[in-house]
Structure 1
Amino acid sequence: MAAKADYSIYLVTDSTPAILGDRDLVQVVEEALKGGVTFVQYREKTSDTGALISTGKALHQVCQKYSVPLVINDRVDVALAVGCEGVHLGQDDMRVDKARELLGSSAIIGATVSSMEEARIAVDLGADYLGIGTVYATNTKKNTKDIIGVNGVRRINHFLERQEDEAAKNIKTVCIGGINLQNIALVKSKLASWEFSASNHVHWEKTIDGVAIVSAIAAQEDPKAAAAALKKAWTDHSPFLPESHPSEPDVSSLGRYVKDVHQRVPLSHNMTNLVVQNFAASVALAIGSSPIMSNNGQEAGDLGALQGGLVINMGTSTPDNLNNQRQAIQAYNARGRPVVLDPVGAGATDVRRKALQFLMDSGHFSVIKGNEREILAVSVASGYLPRESVQQRGVDSGDSLLSLEEKAYYISRLASREQCIVVMTGAVDVLSDGHTTWTVENGHPYLGSVTGSGCTLGTMISAYLACDPRHRLAAVLAAMLHFEIAAEDAAVRSDVHGPGTFVPAFVDELYKKRMDVVEGSAAWLDRRKIRHIENISDLGLLKEY
């Protein structure tokens, strides 16, 4: 049974009134099984042994009807009395090997782990699967010491993947804690990470085999429908994963993206700081987009329905702003609309590093755009070790820390891990979708001397993506060229004498480039200075935290 068990939708029962109400546990479980639950754990902390055995037998009878394994939480004696398929053991329960002696070689024995050491021990003792968590805080998990987040699950699977023994490589894993219909596809995509070989071929890393669910099934009015929806979300292709191998952008037809923005007038919803709101709105209007500057997360559901894009700017990272931004990210994710993260000053203070982690845990980003130090901070929030001696002073980028080869390495790995486009801005911009990596050498130094220029690039990218979210890399590349070449032309105008006079000229040139394309001339795109970087070496700089 252990080898054949399907762990994908793993129901953990809870009979507390807050979860079950006045409904019968066995009936709720049967409805969940009808909906597609593939594995059941009977978890009950307060009943006496007789009651546990009685309920366990009733549950086992129902599970056998649907050919689904039943394991008992903690209690090996109850599992023996019930005659079910096995047990699930916590860190304070009987050892896995001792339970095996009592239950036999065919029993399914699972173990809760929250660290690499606990995982290694459980494998060595003969566990059949690992329950890894807790991912998110929940009402059923009162002890918060084991909240490890998605990065903690990544870390354990990464560790298991790299062990020499087949038992560690092949052990089944499920994650638990706060998984529900709203985040199951996100969790699946975040844990479906890959890495590159030296030849730039993709190697998929060990990922989870299922999700353990409590309230998202048992507390729902219709457990059957809830289970069916979760199973469909698990089985379906995650909207946050690429549908196929990413295609190379057609650099000869980037002008069509400029025209698309003009014709479709996409919404660019900016959740940004007050310092740049006016500038960002002017840029959006100049390229033909429709800007709205709203930091109210309660509006995001309605705004997301308008087929636009969202910009999350960390310029003002107050607790209230962060909560509103999380609400907006999840609203746009739910509608499959693009979200751009601008981690402004993310590496400057501990408060900002925690704010970045909060946002990274909130949902999926289509594009993450920042300077070197900001992208290095993003890599830490993604679960990698921090680079030594990196401290950001403010929102400015400071002197370059990385060679071009290192930049390409960092962003290609980070893009593949987070399933998004990563843009590292600088004297030479680098962008990647994890498969294809480009440099952009257009632009002008005045952009670095103007408050909010990077923020307005995020605004442009959101508008371009809103028009074509399927061809993300090409859309981002087109937005960057529109932005950078307009800056070049603005800087050399006779009416520009420095950063102060540059800003209005820059907005003018953005508009002019747009209208040139609309009127049939995209000659300015021929001045693009872009280069495709191939065969990115594995420099070994990104290590699991």
Structure 2
Amino acid sequence: MKDQVDYTLYLVTDSTEAILGSRHLVEVVEQALLGGVTVVQYRDKTSDTGALIKTAKALHEKCKKHNVPLLINDRVDVALAVGCEGVHLGQDDMNVTEARRLLGDGNIIGATVSSIEEARIAVERGADYLGIGTLYATSTKKNTKDIIGVNGIRSILRYLHTSSDEAARQIKTVCIGGVNALNVQRVTYQLHAPSDASSPPKSIDGVAVVSAIVAAKDVEQAAANLKTLLCTPPTFTHSSPSTTAINGDDDAWTSLAHLHTTALTLTRAVHTHGPLSHNMTNLVVQNFAASVALAIGASPIMSNAGAEAPDLARLQGALVINMGTATPDALRNHALAIAAYNAAGRPVVLDPVGAAATSARKDALASLLAAGYFAVIKGNEREILAVAHASGLVMLKTGHAGQQRGVDSGHALYDLPHRAHIVQRLARRERTVVLMTGATDVISDGRRTYAVANGHAYLGMVTGSGCTLGTAISAYLAAAPEDPFLAAVAALLHFEIAAEEAGRSEAVRGPGTFVPVFIDELYRRRKAIVDGVLEEGPERMKVEVLTEVKDAGILKEL
């Protein structure tokens, strides 16, 4: 049986009053089994041996009816007495080798690991699966020393994926710690082993859940909901087919003619749909961002109240999270909004403003990355480097020395090939679109990568120009969520070509006079495209197709 175990939804029981309440554990587990739980681990650290055996026997009867294995936490003696399918062992319990000697080869033995070394030892000793964690802090996990987060689990998965040991490559994995209905799809989507594009990554085989099932008012429904979420694509990575669906084969993106046509199509889509652009941004740029949204045909709302997000997310728009004001209160509201838009399957743009400037901002960035999934992450070079570091990528070769001081981009640290490698690698790791802005922008979804040299120097001299680019991207994402990469590129081209046109205007004498003319040009370009009077071809786009982004040898994964 152990070779056919389905680890998708792994229930760990909790008999404490705070979680179980006055309900009977066996009845709760039966409801969970009806809801679709695929493995049950009986965990009870306080009852005496006689009580453990009695409860375990009752649980085993229920599990057998559903052909689901029952594992006993820690207690090999109880597993032997009950005759159940196996045990799960922590680092402070009996080791896997001794448990295997007692239980035999036919029983399942799982091991908790929180480091590569612990994983290596568990595989070497013959574990059948690994329980990797702890992912997030929980009320049921009192010992927080083993909280390793997303990056810690990724590193273990990558070790298993690249191991020369066949057993390590094939071993099943389950993550545990704070998994619930709000984050389970993001967890399963992003917890994959970072690898090169030619090799499919090793992912987790299931999630272990405690209170999200045991403490639920309707246990069967909670389990069924989790099972559905685990067996369907994440809501935030797909949308229903749009009338503006982007057509073309897998290689169409390399054609600038196709890109030009697509960009014009998406500009018309924004105009037609007038999508909501919900901006959670700082007061300095709210007016500018709203004006940009209106000029390109979107409907802006500037609301930093997380409580409004569930209602706004139902309006089929997109959200911009701007880190310009990284206060604890702002971060709490951001987390609420991100969760609401993720749950509604609507796009979220992260603008990590000044993320590399201070330790507090780096912590804020880590908090936001843990709060939800982002369809696009955009920032200047130093900000994207801060995102890469928060994602678990270490720079082996630094560029020119210099810490970010404010929200300005500063001088370039890396040349284009290095920047392209960083952006593509980060996009692949986070399974999202990453845009690094600069004199030449680099944008990638991990497979497709462009360098875009449109724009004007005045953009770098105006407060909030980068923030308003995030607003433009959100509008395009809302209008065409089926391909965030091309939507973001189309928004970038609209924004930067308009900036070029504004910069040429005789009315512009510097950054101060640039802004109103720039807003006019955003509007003028949109109208020209919609009215079919735009007289330009693909050559207007200063886009380089980067079909081969080489490993620059400057990144290492933790």
TM-score range, shorter chain: over 0.9
Alpha carbons 2:235, 2:343 under 8 Å: kept: no
Q: What are the superposed Cα offsets for residues 476-529 of structure 1, whole Å, 9 maximum, x if unpaired?
A: 111111111111111121111111111111111111111111221232564111
Task: State the TM-score, normalizing by the size of structure 1.
Answer: 0.96
Q: Name the TM-score, length of structure 2 as normaliser.
A: 0.94
In the alignment, what sits opposite 2:132? 132
CA distance in structure 2 between the partners assigned to 1:317 and 1:417 by the alignment: 25
Pairwise mapping of residues 105-116 of structure 1 onto structure 2 (< 5 A)?
105-116=105-116
Q: Does the 8 Å contact 1:71/1:84 carry over to 2?
A: yes
**Which amino acid in structure 1 is aligned with residue 260 of structure 2?**
S
Query: What does residue range 501-520 of structure 1 map to in structure 2 within 5 Å?
Result: 501-520=513-532
Query: Alignment partner of 2:477: what SS?
Result: helix
Match of 1:292 among 291, 297, 301: 301
Q: Does 1:536 align with 2:549?
A: yes
Asked if the contact 2:237/2:345 (under 8 Å) is kept, the reply is no
Change (3 A) 1:431 1:246: farther
Equivalents in 2 of 1:146, 1:138: separation in Å? 12
| Alignment-mate amino acid for residue 112 of structure 1 | T
Q: Does 1:206 align with 2:202?
A: yes
Name 1:325's counterpart in structure 2.
334
Do residues 11 (structure 1) and 7 (structure 2) align? no
Give the aligned partner of residue 26 of structure 1.
Answer: 26
1:239 is displaced (CA, Å) by 3.3
Distance in 2, matches of 1:525 and 1:142, equals 62
Residue ranges of structure 1 left out of the alignment (5+ in a row): none
Contact 2:113–2:132, Cα closer than 8 Å, also in 1? yes
Which 10-residue stretch deviates more, 517-526 or 532-541? 517-526
User: 1:90 touches 1:112 (CA, 8 Å); kept in 2?
Assistant: yes
Contact 1:19 1:218 in 2 (8 A): yes
Aligned equivalent of 1:237:
233
Structure 1 Cα separation of the partners of residues 271 and 445 of structure 2: 25
| 2:41 aligned counterpart, secondary structure | strand
In the alignment, the residues of structure 1 paired with residue 340 and residue 536 of structure 2 have an alpha-carbon distance, to the nearest angstrom, of 37
Aligned mates of 2:164, 2:173 — CA distance in 1: 18
Kept in 1, the 8 Å contact 2:154–2:194? The answer is: no
Distance 1:390 1:21 in 2: 55
**Who is 1:345 aligned against?**
354
- Structure 1 distance, partners of 2:192, 2:534, is 40
Structure 2: distance between partners of 1:415 and 1:338: 16
Aligned counterparts, 1:219-238, within 5 A? 219-238=215-234
Q: Is the 8 A contact 2:154 2:192 kept in 1?
A: no
Q: Distance in 2 between matches of 1:290 and 1:271?
A: 14
* Structure 2: stretches of 5+ with no match in the other structure: 240-247
C-alpha distance in 2, partners of 1:525/1:326?
A: 42
Tell me how far apart the structure 2 counterparts of residues 237 and 504 of structure 1 sit (CA, whole Å).
43
Relative distance call for 1:342 and 1:248 in structure 2 (3 A) is farther
Q: Please name the residue that 1:52 is paired with.
A: 52
Aligned to 1:523: 535
User: Could you tell me whether the CA contact under 8 Å between 1:481 and 1:525 is conserved in 2?
Assistant: no
State the SS of the aligned residue for 1:410. helix
Match of 2:69 in 1: 69
- Which position in structure 1 is the counterpart of 2:147? 147
Single out whichever of 117-126 and 170-179 deviates more from structure 2: 117-126
Q: Give secondary structure in 2 for the equivalent of 1:204.
A: coil
Distance 1:30 1:532 in 2: 56
Give the alignment of 1:490-509 within 5 angstroms: 490-509=502-521
Match of 2:245 in 1: none
What is the percent sequence identity of the aligned residues?
61
Matched pairs, number: 541
Most deviating of 202-211 and 525-534:
525-534
Tell me, yes or no, if the aligned pair for 1:356 and 1:378 is still in contact at 8 Å: yes
| Structure 1 residue aligned with 2:474 | 462
Deviations for 1:4-33, whole angstroms, at most 9, x for unmatched residues?
211111000111122212211111111111
Secondary structure in 1 matching 2:151? helix
Matches within 5 A, 1:34-433: 34-192=34-192, 195-197=195-197, 202-241=198-237, 248-249=252-253, 250-253=258-261, 254-386=263-395, 388=398, 391-433=403-445
SS in 2 for 1:458: helix
Change (3 A) 1:252 1:485: closer
Q: CA shift at 1:530, angstroms?
A: 0.9
Counterpart of 2:405, as a letter, is: R
Counterpart secondary structure, 2:307: helix
Structure 1 SS opposite 2:304: coil
